[in-house]
Amino acid sequence: MSESWRRHAVCRTMPPGTFFVNDPGEVEVVKKVCRGCPVVEACAAYALAQEDAPGVWGAMSEADRHKRRRQGQTAARKERSAAALRQKAAVGSMLTMLERQLAHPGRWVWVRNYAGPGSAGAVASQLRSGDRLVPPGRWQFEARASAGGGSDLYALYEGADEAAAS
């Protein structure tokens, strides 16, 4: 990350130590100086990336930065679990779609659309290799390009697995 923003820092011309205060009242005064600084956002981003920068940076005390990092981590954790739930729902709906085909063997059916051009192909490979849950039986999976630049996954249920049926 470029640090050219430092050239425009208001604190460049201020006495060293001005931003290294602990008294809550002094911290608030210094934060006000930061709020009027043209590079406050770049400074805040820099300070958030440094675990051990003492004092006030980007209108944030050390405690403020600690809190912001924790909030960021919580938000990232929530996004990860939401993504996992979305993934689970997608897998569940795909399985339901495939289970429906057990009554209609020998027919190619559309299963899902993916935004990425290679995504349906990657899923088709996982399904063929058994990396993803598929109802028992003989299946074929195919990826085809879709109109919007994405890809579609198709499946064909051929019938019961002869080895399992005998």
48 binds ligand SF4 (CB under 6 A): no
Identified binder of ligand SF4 from the candidate list 20, 32, 50, 57, rule CB under 6 A: 57
Identified binder of ligand SF4 from the candidate list 16, 22, 27, 40, rule CB under 6 A: 40
The DSSP bridge pattern shows strands 108-114 and 151-159 to be: antiparallel
Identified binder of ligand SF4 from the candidate list 21, 33, 95, 160, rule CB under 6 A: 33
Q: Identify the residue whose tokens are 């935004």.
A: 115
Instruction: Please tell me what DSSP assigns to residue 61.
Output: -
H-only helix segments in 57-129: 62-100, 119-129
Q: In this structure, are residues 157 and 101 in contact, taking their beta carbons and an 8 Å threshold?
A: yes
Q: In this structure, are residues 19 and 55 in contact, taking their beta carbons and an 8 Å threshold?
A: yes
Instruction: Report phi then psi at 156, rounded to 5.
Output: -135, 125
143 binds ligand SF4 (CB under 6 A): no
Q: How far is the CB of 19 from ligand SF4 (least distance, A)?
A: 5
43 binds ligand SF4 (CB under 6 A): yes
Identified binder of ligand SF4 from the candidate list 1, 3, 4, 11, rule CB under 6 A: 11
27 binds ligand SF4 (CB under 6 A): no
